[in-house]
Structure 1
Amino acid sequence: MDAVLTAAVALLDEAGEPALTLRALATRLGTGVGSIYWYVSGKDDLLDRAMDHVLGGVLTAVEKQDRSGDPIDVLRVMAVTLFDAIVDRPWLGGRFMQDIGTHGNALRLYEKLGQQTLRLDLTPRQRFHAVTAIVAVVAGSAADLGQEPPQEVLDGSVGREEFLGRYAEMWRELDTEEYPFLHEIVDEFDGHDDKEQFLAALELTLAGLRRQSGT
């Protein structure tokens, strides 16, 4: 089963969900399609198990981290660990959010995040909202940043900086009275660092949590 899931994850990482078919997986493993059905009932089951397989590695990494310090600092480390695991896997981000309601590593990660909020002076509703917000920032940012770049960027004819620069130049030409915000932030947008953008969103969320808990 481990070999099946490792091969499935490799196919997903290479070309996303469309590339993962039972026939393609069987070819990768050098076996027949029928043998795959010994392990999974179909593509949806295979996707769920592949996601759980990847998140198992994230869970292991999280459990190895020192969780005795400031709970908000611990939440930050856990969130970044999860983000790094899924940012290059657009196929994983959406399914992670879907599968929190099922028993598996997604739910266990959700629980691990939630346990840190038990160390803060919060109401049950505040804990629920806090973990929901953190997961949304992580999964939402990773899914957005993990989208496939335009073809001209993929084939190397245009670099990322030049591609972003096109939008920046367009924004600079807009009317300043109608679009004052875009003019204010255009230099920040032009050539910005995606990971830094995620970390800033995470810090805003954690700062609000810290203030709410009075920590």
Structure 2
Amino acid sequence: MAPRTRQSQRRRQVLSRERIVEAAIELLDAAGEGALTVRTLTERLSTGSGAIYHHVGTRQELLESAIDTVVSAALDAVPTPARDREGAPEDEIRAVALGLFDAATRHPWLAAQLAAQITRNPWGPVTLQVFERIGRPMRALGVPEHDWFAASSTLVHYILGATTQNTQHADAAPVGDRAEFLDATARAWQDLDPGDYPFVRAVAGQMREHDDRRQFRTGIDTVLKGITATHRPRRRQART
């Protein structure tokens, strides 16, 4: 009786939607988007393809569920600062941006898939979550309502572009050898003709020593400063 009970528990676990999506994320983390197939997933879960289609639908729907699960977890972990504190809207946007950056670092497949999802499915839950969390502080930043979409889109586009580029850089460097890869790149830059590439040669050392996460935050801060500077007169008027 006990073996049958354990078998029934295992079957219920395999056939749950949550377990299927969890297994899909594990596959994506291990080998990338190309590794996620219904056949591979059924082998991993010791089930049939019918169970996959029944619980999550097609492969594309499964991929979208994996993206939604990872992004939702990242955004749910971001604390919302007190709105009456000076600098709170900027802090909230930084926290959301860094939460997405860290999620893309943990899941290297996520950045490109997130960008594609926002473009392909602007009415989907992932797009709505990202835009809501980035766009909600716009009023507190002093941005007039007719500029909310433009300002929030600028931030979202930077986040997507920077995280995707960072993931591609990680793929280009040999595994576990990022420092060596950057050092070789810096040496190549420093060997360039100073007449043709004075700027590139000057920043070669900075490129070698840069930290991806710190650089990402600098970019977010730069965009935020541009947004607040553009709308500063309206913001001061609203406080008087």
Query: 1: distance between equivalents of 2:28 and 2:201?
Result: 39
Give the CA deviation at 1:25. 0.9
2:29 corresponds in structure 1 to 13
Letter in 1 for 2:143: L
State the secondary structure of the residue aligned to 2:194. Answer: coil
1:82 corresponds in structure 2 to 100
Aligned pairs, number: 210
8 Å Cα contact 1:22/1:43 also seen in 2: yes
Correspondence 1:30-179 to 2 at 5 A: 30-62=46-78, 64-68=79-83, 69=85, 70-100=88-118, 101-147=122-168, 148-150=170-172, 153-154=174-175, 159-179=177-197
Quick check: which has more Rg, 1 or 2?
2
2:220 corresponds in structure 1 to 202
Q: Structure 1 residues 176 and 80, CA, compared in 2 at 3 Å: closer, same or farther?
A: same
1:211 corresponds in structure 2 to 229
4+ residue runs over 4 A deviation: none
Q: Structure 1 residues 125 and 14, CA, compared in 2 at 3 Å: closer, same or farther?
A: farther
1:170-200 residue CA offsets vs partner (Å, 9 max, x unmatched): 1111111110110121110113211122111
Give the CA deviation at 1:125. 4.3
Letter in 2 for 1:14: A
1:92-151 residue CA offsets vs partner (Å, 9 max, x unmatched): 223323333123143123112211102232233432122112112222111111225347
TM-score between both structures, scaled by the size of structure 1: 0.89
Query: 2: distance between equivalents of 1:131 and 1:149?
Result: 29
Stretch deviating more after TM superposition (182-191 or 98-107): 98-107
Query: 2: distance between equivalents of 1:150 and 1:116?
Result: 36
8 Å Cα contact 1:59/1:105 also seen in 2: no
2:9 corresponds in structure 1 to none
Runs (5+) with no aligned partner, structure 1: none
Give the CA deviation at 1:48. 0.8
Query: 2: distance between equivalents of 1:72 and 1:52?
Result: 25
TM-score between both structures, scaled by the size of structure 2: 0.80
Letter in 1 for 2:171: P
Greater relative contact order, per chain length (Cα 8 Å cut-off, separation 6+): 1
Q: Structure 1 residues 137 and 88, CA, compared in 2 at 3 Å: closer, same or farther?
A: farther
8 Å Cα contact 2:142/2:228 also seen in 1: no
Q: Alignment RMSD, CA only?
A: 1.9
